[in-house]
């Protein structure tokens, strides 16, 4: 470690430069969205755990999606909310690195979970007779463990590379939280290795998975067109379209932030995109993937009926 770097170093999270009244308004709005996100994902996770009818591979992966949504939102949103009402927007070095590590880890894991979910839907629609054989519980566990492991191994590599850098210049992180690219700008050493590793990881967890998912959904849509029942085609189209919307938002925002060449004019736009990624996307996922689903609605109805009867 460089002699100019100290574990006690503090950074200042710049955030949005707004008036006090606007920041108070945003505090209430963002708090509401954050609470709704936790509640929606918590309800989905609880229903999947408690209702035996939801103990299937699809809902197994949805439970992991709910966990990652709650987790990566909780790594930075609480600190962001505190900063909206607190003039002292400092964060010490170690919590900043931890925030970077956890955010990247949960976000990368979610990318891989979304890929696994698309594969699950592909097998269910294109190979329905072999579905239970192919997507057995052993395979599901391996896919889930691999997704979490790959996500956090990548995040650990970024954290280690970040720790080797000295930070002896300006201490203002021009972002809402300790986002890795914003923190790298404060290093007073060559960050080319970090940039190359970030780009390589983006190819691995964004470009590659997105291409594989698009191929999977194209084959799914082709299989759907062969369904004789109009009701079946409509239901399958609706499911695939909603899934593609989530995938497009999640991967599209991440690719814009991490793969488009940086510029000073884009810093404010990246803050808004990261805010959407951290706050709104975790709230949309349960609405699109689960709460529109008849099985989940049925499980929720049974849970409410059971609670009333007791």
Q: What is the pLDDT of residues 4-16, one digit of tens each?
A: 444 446 888 888 8
Give the residue carrying structure tokens 């967890």: 205
Please, are residues 77 and 279 in contact by the beta-carbon 8 Å criterion?
Answer: yes
As beta bridge partners, residue 90 has 12
CB 118 within 8 A of CB 221: no
Q: What is the pLDDT of residues 34-64, one digit of tens each?
A: 999 999 899 889 989 988 888 989 899 999 9
Burial of 258 (0-12, 13-18, 19+ CB in 10 A): buried
* pLDDT of 27 higher than 80: yes
pLDDT at residue 38, rounded to an integer: 93
- Mean pLDDT, rounded, for 128-144: 92
When computed from its CA atoms, the radius of gyration of the chain, rounded to whole angstroms, is 21
Q: What integer pLDDT is reported at residue 291 of this predicted model?
A: 65
Residue 276: other Cβ atoms inside 10 A: 14
pTM over 0.85: yes
Which pLDDT score, from 0 to 100, does residue 102 have?
94
**What sections of the chain are H helices per DSSP?**
20-50, 57-74, 77-85, 93-126, 131-134, 137-163, 180-184, 192-202, 208-225, 230-259, 267-275, 281-289, 294-309
Q: Per residue in 197-231, pLDDT tens?
A: 999 988 888 888 888 888 888 888 888 777 777 77
What is the per-residue pLDDT for 61?
A: 93
């Amino acid at each position: 470690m460089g002699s100019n770097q100290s574990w006690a170093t503090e950074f200042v999270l710049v955030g949005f430069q707004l008036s006090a009244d606007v920041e108070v308004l945003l505090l209430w709005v963002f708090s509401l969205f954050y609470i709704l996100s936790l509640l929606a994902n918590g309800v989905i996770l609880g229903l999947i755990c408690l209702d035996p009818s939801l103990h299937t591979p699809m809902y197994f992966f949805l439970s992991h999606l709910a966990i990652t949504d709650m987790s990566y939102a909780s790594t930075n949103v609480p600190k962001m909310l505190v900063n909206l009402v607190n003039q002292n927007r400092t964060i010490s070095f170690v919590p900043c690195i931890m925030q970077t590590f956890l955010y990247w880890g949960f976000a990368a894991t979610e990318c891989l979970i979304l890929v696994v979910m698309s594969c699950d839907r592909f097998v269910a629609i294109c190979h329905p007779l072999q579905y239970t054989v192919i997507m057995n519980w052993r395979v599901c566990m391996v896919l889930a463990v691999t997704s979490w492991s790959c996500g956090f191994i990548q995040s650990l590599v970024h954290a280690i590379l970040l720790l080797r850098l000295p930070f002896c210049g300006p201490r203002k992180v021009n972002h809402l939280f300790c986002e890795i690219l914003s923190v790298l700008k404060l290093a007073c050493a060559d960050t080319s290795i970090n940039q190359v590793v970030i780009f390589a990881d983006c190819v691995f967890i964004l470009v590659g998975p997105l291409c594989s998912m698009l191929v999977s959904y194209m084959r799914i849509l082709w299989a759907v067109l062969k369904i004789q029942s109009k009701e079946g085609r409509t239901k399958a189209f609706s499911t695939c379209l909603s899934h593609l919307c989530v995938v497009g938002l999640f991967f599209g925002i991440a690719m814009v932030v991490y793969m488009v060449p940086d510029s000073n004019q884009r810093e404010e736009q990246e803050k808004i995109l990261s805010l959407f990624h951290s706050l709104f996307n975790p709230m949309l996922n349960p609405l699109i993937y689960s709460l529109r689903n008849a099985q989940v609605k049925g499980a929720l109805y049974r849970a409410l009926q059971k609670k009333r009867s007791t």
